[in-house]
Structure 1
Amino acid sequence: MTNTDFPVRRTNTQIPAQSGQPEIVKSNPTDLAITLGHTAEGVPVLRVSGEVDMRTAPALRLEVDRAIARRPMLVLDLTGVEFLASAGLSILIELTRRAPETGLRWGAVATGRAVLRPLEAVGMLSVIPVYPTVTDAVAAVNAGQP
């Protein structure tokens, strides 16, 4: 099994700005599921569920890189993440660090302890642009706010 042998569902569906929680479908609790959608305004939204650790983070990094290669904006919906290890944190930190130099506008959506606690523990909760809803993150990205 390679680092990208996880269920990655790529879609071209539009995600309304007022959408609710995504439907999370996994066959195994340790799977990483990533769904790509776009808002009506064209903002890419990656919905992530499962565990982001050293085994699954490369698949997430690949999808993030693909999404921002097309357009330097991204909403990363982490509401379905059940575990966020240092490998996942490094992706978020890297996005934050390269945003000013590349013009990337992005935001993460997180409400659960599985994501917020690790961010808080490493002192990044006030640095990484985290929003409570996809709607809030999309609005910030569209406004050019980190």
Structure 2
Amino acid sequence: MTAQVRDGCAVVRLRGELDIANGHDLHRRLGAARRSFGDHLILDLTGLEFMDSHGLSVIINCYKAVSQAGGSLALAAPRPIVRRTLEITGMHRRMTVLGSVEEAIAARHT
């Protein structure tokens, strides 16, 4: 995971797999990104190859936390397998899911 600020948003890039083996680490790192960069996050899922229910739970908890803090969370460029997980669970209707980081940044500023 890497994080950088772009146009007032923390863009967090995820790579590899997000599952029970590393979900706690992501939770910690997302908390650190929020403390460092604020409560407007974009998760760049371009490099995320797999996500299980535990990984999804980490993202849902982050979504709830930033929403309660007046922030936002957008998911950018999920691969088909990750997008399918979001669709099966209905999370694509609750969270903003966009085709690219650039679209997510633009949507944040509209």
Superposed pair shares fold, TM > 0.5: yes
1-structure distance, mates of 2:75, 2:62: 10
2: CA distance, partners of 1:100 / 1:65 = 14
Give TM-score scaled by structure 2 length: 0.88
RMSD of the TM alignment (CA)?
A: 1.5
TM-superposed CA distance for 1:58, in Å, is: 1.2
Contact in 2 for aligned 1:72/1:105 (Cα 8 Å): yes
Amino acid at match of 1:77: D
Relative to the length of structure 1, the TM-score reads: 0.68
- The corresponding residue for 1:102 is 69
Please point out which of 8, 18, 22 is paired with 1:56: 22
Asked whether the 8 Å contact 1:49–1:80 carries over to 2, the reply is yes
Quote the offset at 1:96 in angstroms. 2.7
What are the equivalent positions in structure 2 for 1:8-47 lying under 5 Å apart? 34-39=1-6, 41-47=7-13
Runs (5+) with no aligned partner, structure 1: 1-33
**CA shift digits 1:15-51 (9 cap, x unpaired):** xxxxxxxxxxxxxxxxxxx111221x23211111100
Percent identical among aligned pairs is 32
Deviates more, 1:103-112 or 1:49-58: 103-112
**For residues 118 and 129 of structure 1, what CA distance do their matches in structure 2 show?**
14
Letter in 2 for 1:53: D
Contact 1:110 1:131 in 2 (8 A): yes
* Pair member with larger Rg: 1
1:101–1:111 Cα change, 3 Å: closer
Q: Which amino acid aligns with 1:74?
A: L
Q: Give the superposition deviation at 1:73.
A: 1.0
Which sections of structure 2, spanning at least 5 residues, go unmatched?
Answer: none
Which structure has the higher relative contact order (CA within 8 Å, separation 6+)?
A: 2
Q: d(CA) in 1 for partners of 2:13 and 2:92?
A: 20
Instruction: List, as ranges, runs of 4+ consecutive aligned residues in structure 1 with deviation greater than 3 Å.
Output: none
Partner of 2:33: 67
